[in-house]
Amino acid sequence: MAYDTQYDVIVCGGGTSGVAAAIASARTGAKTLLVERTGTLGGQMNLSGPPGFAYARLFNPQGKRDVGGIVEETYQRLLKAGHALPHLRYPYREKAGFTFSYIDPEWWTILMFEMMEEEGVELLLDTLVVGVTKDGNTATGIVVENANGRNELKGSIIIDCTGEGYVAAHAGCEMDCVSRDEIQPHTLAFTADGVDWDRLLTYVREHPDQFQYKQLMNPYTDNTHEAVMQVYSKCHDIRELGEVMGFYELRDMAMKNGDWHPYSGVGFFIVPREDGHIQAHFQHSSQWDHSLPTDAWDLTRCMIECRKQNLIAWRFFKNYVPGFEHAYITKVCTELRLREGPRIVGDYILTREDVAECRQFEDTIGKSSFKAGGYHVSNVNTLNVNQDDPRMSWPKDGGSYDIPYRCLVPKTVDNLLAAGKCVSTDRPAYLRYLHQTMVTGQAAGTAAGLCIKKGITPRELEKDVKELQKLLLDQGAVLFECPVK
């Protein structure tokens, strides 16, 4: 059987940035191939699994929307079909810019397959990209390995959506990454059902001081510790909390008894399922550091250790936490949630200062209001959320900052774009969160298709991005002004 080997755009990686890039590319009329090393689509939506941060933070602390486009389009489709919760914009959360727009990750994946067919994207699953073909400094295609052996596929433009920049590295792009000693810990998430939410919330209301509040503080909110405790003490609907982190007294008791590990704190997010059913999703119950995503031995050890920690965590919840007595695990993610990895060095490097100053750029392709410098740590604090930490910066006045197109264009290598976690930033401004990856994915796919039409390289497109911006705006992206809604 003969297969196509020549495409306009090849998207490498079928995670959150990759599906957005492929949809956007195909919508320009470009012949688009999406290559994914597993047998499904989803990446950090369901393979490594953080529905807790699925479509979180779509509104900044001013209450203005700063993320739209394919993120909002897919959210609305799932909401209409009964596979999402309405935007949960409770005032105390909106002040901190930490709101949730929960979706069912399994139905999201089903929707992605439907949209690939709707847009005419060709899929190649169970296929690993092992190399990039080049003509001088210009990428001309990729080398893949799968059940058919090793083959070359030609593409006029290649988009690296692998998360860790594996394709860009194969192409010889300059990359930046912290050392094994500095890298954030990774985790393995799992989901549980059978929780007695009434029993759990009774405990929460009676012990509000046992739960975390710092994630709801930033320099531009008037939230207070007391105000957050009031929310905990009056909550009768788990959806109002969205996440529950803390259980300090129970955790400390378990630590003394040898029933909790010292590598992360205690807590979970929620997952909506059909007919309004809610499950608990654990994405902070295991953390293992000193593991580089570029070292398979590191990743193997990390997977082993995280599974051990998750077993300890689950026994803790079953034996110590009210409401979990009859709960049961329904899913253990198949991939590690990699919190940090290599980034390309692009024609522009987004910085912590850009985040702090809410900088705007003429070549903006999207926005975000997520803080810079919030790192995970492998101890019971889980996160280093501290307003006084000099590494952390919140966007000033609770606003949003721009993401420049040039962050997607690697230096020295042409006809290659990056999207998702590996775009060009300094370490504090790392754009790893799910909605950010889809924003850059949509922009990269649209840019690639536009370059095919114009017969130019992605670097040449930097000279005038107005048409790119118009195409993104037509698809509902937020680029210039954040609407109040």
What is the C-alpha to C-alpha distance for residues 485 and 270, in angstroms, rounded to an integer?
24
Tens of pLDDT along 413-460?
999 999 999 999 999 999 999 999 999 999 999 999 999 999 999 999
Q: What is the pLDDT of residue 385?
A: 66
* Residue of 293, 282, 105 whose CA lies nearest to 186: 293
Cα dihedral 87, 92, 94, 98 sign: negative
Q: What is the pLDDT of residue 458?
A: 98
What is the C-alpha to C-alpha distance for residues 399 and 138, in angstroms, rounded to an integer?
38
Q: Which residue has the tokens 């059913």?
A: 277
Burial 295-312 (b: 16+ CB within 10 A, else e): eeebbeebbebbeebbeb
Categorize the per-residue pLDDT at 386 as very low, low, confident or very high, splitting at 50, 70 and 90: low
Tens of pLDDT along 311-369?
999 999 999 999 999 999 999 999 999 999 999 999 999 999 999 999 999 999 999 99
In this prediction, residues 22-33 reach a mean pLDDT of 98
Residue 80 or 390, more confident: 80
Of the chain, the percentage scoring pLDDT greater than 90 comes to 89
What is the C-alpha to C-alpha distance for residues 182 and 162, in angstroms, rounded to an integer?
22
Tens of pLDDT along 65-81?
999 999 999 999 999 99
What is the C-alpha to C-alpha distance for residues 344 and 166, in angstroms, rounded to an integer?
10
At residue 303, the 3 state secondary structure works out as helix
Dihedral in degrees, nearest 10, Cα atoms 235, 237, 240, 243: 90
Q: Which residue has the tokens 């080997």?
A: 5
At residue 191, the 3 state secondary structure works out as strand
Q: What is the pLDDT of residue 384?
A: 74
Contact 446, 471 (CB under 8 A): yes
Categorize the per-residue pLDDT at 392 as very low, low, confident or very high, splitting at 50, 70 and 90: confident
Q: Which residues fall within 8 angstroms of residue 453, CB to CB, at 6 or more apart?
A: 28, 29, 30
Mean pLDDT computed over every residue of the chain: 95
Q: What is the pLDDT of residue 112?
A: 98
Cα dihedral 110, 113, 115, 117 sign: negative
Greatest Cα-to-Cα distance within the chain, rounded to the nearest angstrom: 68
At residue 320, the 3 state secondary structure works out as helix
Phi-psi region of 392 (alpha: psi -120 to 50; beta: other; left: phi over 0): beta
* Residue of 438, 433, 401, 441 whose CA lies nearest to 417: 441
At residue 129, the 3 state secondary structure works out as strand
Give the tokens for residue 256: 């003394």
Tens of pLDDT along 164-174?
999 999 999 99
What is the C-alpha to C-alpha distance for residues 453 and 93, in angstroms, rounded to an integer?
43
Least confident of 102-106, 168-172, 193-197, 382-386: 382-386
pLDDT at 379 over 80: yes
Contact 109, 45 (CB under 8 A): yes
Phi-psi region of 431 (alpha: psi -120 to 50; beta: other; left: phi over 0): beta
Tens of pLDDT along 224-242?
989 999 999 999 999 999 9
pLDDT at 16 over 80: yes
Give the tokens for residue 97: 């810019």
Contact 367, 358 (CB under 8 A): no
Query: What φ, ψ does residue 165 adopt, rounded to 5°?
Result: 70, 30
Tens of pLDDT along 133-168?
999 999 999 999 999 999 999 999 999 999 999 999
Q: What is the pLDDT of residue 448?
A: 98
What is the C-alpha to C-alpha distance for residues 189 and 381, in angstroms, rounded to an integer?
17
In this prediction, residues 33-61 reach a mean pLDDT of 92
pLDDT at 485 over 70: no
Q: What is the pLDDT of residue 401?
A: 98
In this prediction, residues 269-280 reach a mean pLDDT of 94
pLDDT at 389 over 80: no
Categorize the per-residue pLDDT at 211 as very low, low, confident or very high, splitting at 50, 70 and 90: very high
Q: What is the pLDDT of residue 344?
A: 98
